[in-house]
Amino acid sequence: MMLTIRVYTPADLPRLIEITLSTFQPVSIDANIEKIFGPVGGNDWKARKARAIEEDCEINPSGVFLAEAEGTVAGYITTVLDRRTLIGRIPNLAVDPGFQGQGIGHELITHALRYFRENGMAMAKIETLAQNERGQRLYPKMGFTEVARQVHYVMPLEPPG
């Protein structure tokens, strides 16, 4: 399979959202919240996750990388450069289900790590949920070390009044 990594353009956003919505439900905090409490503020988990991807693309568009295979965008990775702490973050990584298991996630992370090094970052950070078995296998293989586990709590708020 011929794979090309390129930088995001605004025309790519609908495809990134499509990939996101087809991959994140089993590994999304927002989907977990919805399972317990239902939609929040009239928005389902898909709307919230799509908005998170839009924000990633707005914050650092030159650090959003797409993997193209067989003439289509097969996956993407988003990055954030923190020039004060020198920690590069990977907020989102997703590969279309039809392309998973072919090393695309590995290639996207490799590209992001190169981008971090070229931009003077001293460390790279990525997070995942315990239910994301793929991530928990891939990230250590890529050289990441688990440093902590975090528990997320949520509670509904009553309207003021």
Q: Is it the case that residue 161 has pLDDT exceeding 80?
A: no
**35-68 tens-digit pLDDT:** 999 888 888 999 999 999 999 999 999 999 999 9
Average pLDDT over residues 124-132: 91
Query: What distance in Å separates the CA atoms of residue 32 and residue 45, rounded to the nearest whole number?
Result: 9
Question: What's the confidence (pLDDT) of residue 159?
Answer: 82
pTM: 0.92
| Three-state secondary structure of 59-91 | HCHHHCEEEEECCEEEEEEEEEEECCCCEEEEE
User: Is residue 107 a contact partner of residue 138, using CB atoms and an 8 Å limit?
Assistant: no
Q: Is it the case that residue 107 has pLDDT exceeding 90?
A: yes
**9-24 tens-digit pLDDT:** 999 999 999 999 999 8
Q: Is it the case that residue 75 has pLDDT exceeding 90?
A: yes
User: Is residue 19 a contact partner of residue 75, using CB atoms and an 8 Å limit?
Assistant: yes
Q: Is it the case that residue 25 has pLDDT exceeding 90?
A: no
Residue 25 burial by Cβ neighbours in a 10 Å radius (0-12, 13-18, 19+): middle
Domains belonging to the chain, first-starting first, are 3-141 (3.40.630.30)
Average pLDDT over residues 148-153: 91
